[in-house]
């Protein structure tokens, strides 16, 4: 494998780095503090086609691959984890699900405005009683004549209160468990689709997370996405790709922690010299840098395999598992290097620390990633 970026990828990386510094960095701390969704950034993200990264150009996207998604998310997360999560979830979950498994009419009606950033997407899988055990969902969809009627609830839905298009997973044959789940597309404003509590979170606080309730939600028969009862198998494929993006996001947060720590270690003096002169600090920085480079290579490997059309389930889980835990370790060490200052909101390392924790939970916990890896090995 050749891990060197192409000239086009290097230009993309630099473009996003500059965009994030100029457009996303201002106000990032304030948005985090007030839990304010960055509505003002959506048109700017759309202008760079960052809301349709991997969607072909004929559907309004940029036509790029998983490698470019990882590069973009690292650069955005280096500045703001919440904005990176918005980009990741919109692209990898809702929009990609509709593009990969929707029919041509659904692509034209929903994927095009999503990829152009005219609407935001939400992907509704998790429920109050089913997180990691997604196949145990209780939301039901019943076919009545030429309409589906959906009843149930979802929890922890990213973009839940701000989306214009929702992909909703529901059981269409409860007796079959995972083999009886289907996916549906629902537009905002459809009677019976009720936005519930908007969550107050530890981190990525400017990213919207809300509960959804379905009360006799009636949608046309043609809103079924893909094959009836095949939704769970489609979900697994979507998550495999999405985990690569979360890996890239994790690397960005970890890199932010390292770069800020290097700067602080050069400036902060104790005992008459910069703390970066002390071996205890040097070792922390060395370990952080080594693990971050290793995490990035795992993410790149998974992305290259996906772009080559090769099996990437284990690689994606390894990348997501390692990168997310590296992000948590790096941000923890960053606070330690900053000492008392790291515990204050005057320095962004405390925000990186709070944002990083989600990476070990979202799109499959670390425990689920280990289960996926072990299952693949034992097969």
Q: Indicate which residues carry an active-site annotation.
A: 363
Given a contact cutoff of 8 angstroms between Cβ atoms, the answer to whether 148 and 141 are in contact is yes
Q: How long, in residues, is the chain?
A: 379
Nearest-angstrom CA–CA distance, 271 and 347: 22
Number of H helices, E strands in the chain: 13, 10
Q: Strand pairing partners for 96?
A: none
Best CA proximity match to 69, nearest among 17, 12, 1: 12
Best CA proximity match to 167, nearest among 189, 137, 142, 188: 188
Nearest-angstrom CA–CA distance, 236 and 309: 16
3-state DSSP assignment of residue 127: strand
Nearest-angstrom CA–CA distance, 111 and 259: 37
Q: Strand pairing partners for 167?
A: 123, 185
Q: Report DSSP letters for 39-56, one per residue.
A: GGGHHHHHHTTTTSTTS-
Using a 10 angstrom Cβ sphere, with 0-12 exposed, 13-18 middle and 19 or more buried, the burial of residue 22 is exposed
Compute the C-alpha angle 309/312/314, nearest 5°: 170
């Amino acid at each position: 494998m050749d891990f060197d970026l192409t000239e086009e990828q290097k230009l993309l990386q630099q473009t996003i780095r500059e965009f994030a510094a100029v457009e996303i960095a201002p106000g990032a701390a304030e948005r985090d503090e007030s839990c304010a969704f960055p509505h003002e950034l959506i048109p700017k993200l759309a202008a760079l086609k960052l809301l349709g990264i991997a969607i072909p150009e004929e559907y309004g996207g940029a036509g790029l691959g998983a490698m470019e998604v990882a590069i973009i998310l690292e650069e955005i997360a280096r500045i703001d984890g919440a904005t990176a999560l918005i980009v990741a979830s919109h692209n990898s979950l809702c929009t990609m699900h509709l593009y990969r498994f929707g029919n041509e009419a659904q692509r034209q009606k929903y994927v095009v405005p999503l990829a152009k950033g005219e609407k935001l997407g939400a992907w509704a899988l998790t429920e109050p009683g089913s997180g990691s055990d997604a196949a145990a969902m209780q939301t039901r969809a019943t076919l009545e004549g030429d309409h589906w009627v959906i009843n149930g609830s979802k929890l922890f839905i990213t973009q839940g209160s701000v989306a214009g298009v929702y992909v909703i997973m529901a059981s269409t044959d409860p007796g079959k468990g995972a083999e009886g789940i289907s996916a549906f597309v629902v537009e905002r404003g459809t009677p019976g689709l009720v936005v519930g509590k908007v969550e107050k979170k530890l981190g990525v606080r400017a990213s919207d997370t809300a509960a959804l309730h379905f009360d006799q939600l009636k949608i046309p028969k043609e809103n079924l996405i893909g094959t009836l009862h095949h939704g769970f198998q489609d979900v697994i494929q979507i998550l495999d790709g999405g985990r690569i993006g979360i890996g890239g996001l994790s690397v960005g947060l970890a890199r932010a922690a390292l770069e800020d720590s290097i700067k602080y270690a050069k400036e902060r003096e104790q005992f008459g010299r910069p703390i970066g002169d002390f071996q205890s600090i040097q070792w922390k920085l060395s370990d952080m840098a080594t693990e971050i480079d290793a995490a990035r290579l795992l993410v790149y490997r998974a992305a290259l395999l996906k772009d080559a059309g090769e099996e990437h389930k284990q690689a994606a889980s390894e990348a997501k598992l390692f990168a997310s835990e590296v992000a948590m370790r790096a941000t923890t060490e960053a606070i330690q290097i900053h000492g008392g200052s790291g515990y204050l909101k005057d320095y962004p390392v405390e925000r990186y620390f709070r944002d990083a924790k989600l990476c070990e939970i979202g799109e499959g916990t670390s425990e689920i990633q280990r289960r996926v890896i072990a299952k693949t090995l034992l097969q």
